[in-house]
Structure 1
Amino acid sequence: MMNSKMKQLLTALAISTAVVSASVSTVQAAEKGASSVEEGKKLAYSRSKGNCLACHMAGEGAMPGNIGPALIAMKLRYPDKQKLVDKVWGKPETQTVPNSMMPAFGQNGILSDSEINKIVDYIYTL
């Protein structure tokens, strides 16, 4: 009898530990995602880094340029997020606009892969 009760207690403890662990992981992932978006926003608006506002209207950015298209509905325009990453990075096969003024940020070493991913995380929320 005691053995059966002990097994039930240990099973309940194992299940509750797994549930709490999964909840903590989900919260940490959400916090990481939010911080990645915030960092991406800072990089995108930074005149010394992404400088997206020099050419694009984006979010609530002040004094946007109008050389490039407005950064709106990005999930609809780029359902495959990797294609947007490739475009910002500067992969030649993604440059579908002839004579585009947009620099190849990754290819030219302007931004790191991590910075590009954070900017894309932010842009993808627009």
Structure 2
Amino acid sequence: MMNSTMKQLLTALAISSAVIASPASVQAADKGATAIEQGKKLAFSRSQGNCLACHMVADGAMPGNIGPALIAMKLRYPDKQKLYNKVWGTPDTQNVPNSMMPPFGQNGILTDEEIGKIVDYIYTL
């Protein structure tokens, strides 16, 4: 029950945050914008990160609803390395039973550098 309520809350927050200016647009002027833009491209690519297959992202088209919405990521993962480990597939981060998220680094789906760029982008959400 709590899990369902949390998903509904995160979805509502993600939808409402689409109206508010995205932090990514503010950071686009920063010198690190290139890595963030590359991370977004990788995350939205169907042949690579494919995050939109399962997750809702504020500026993503046709998002999935299998995984949680990718919002408030700095709040959810204050330690950026833990987010990286989750995407990479470090065994101790696979604490969600029956998760459908593949371990992208462990299975060689993405390189460490690609995962780093995706995490840089996701961390702006």
TM-score (norm 1): 0.75
Equivalent residue runs for 1:58-69 within 5 Å: 58-69=57-68
2:48 is aligned with what amino acid?
K
Between structures 1 and 2, the one with greater helix share: 1
1:71 alignment partner, SS class: coil
> Moved runs in structure 1, 4+ residues, more than 2 A?
none
Give the whole-Å Cα distance in 2 for the aligned partners of 1:94 and 1:81: 13
Give the TM-score of the pair, scaled to structure 2: 0.76
Identity %, equivalent residues: 79
Listed as ranges, the matches of 1:1-126 within 5 Å are: 30-31=30-31, 33-126=32-125
Shift of residue 96, structure 1, vs aligned partner: 1.2
- Which structure has the greater CA radius of gyration? 1
Equivalenced residue count is 96
Give a deviation string over 1:6-53, Cα, whole Å, max 9, x none: xxxxxxxxxxxxxxxxxxxxxxxx42x110000000000000000000
Deviations 1:47-74 (A, max 9, x none): 0000000000013000000000000000
Q: CA RMSD in A?
A: 0.6
**What is the letter of the counterpart of residue 61 of structure 1?**
G
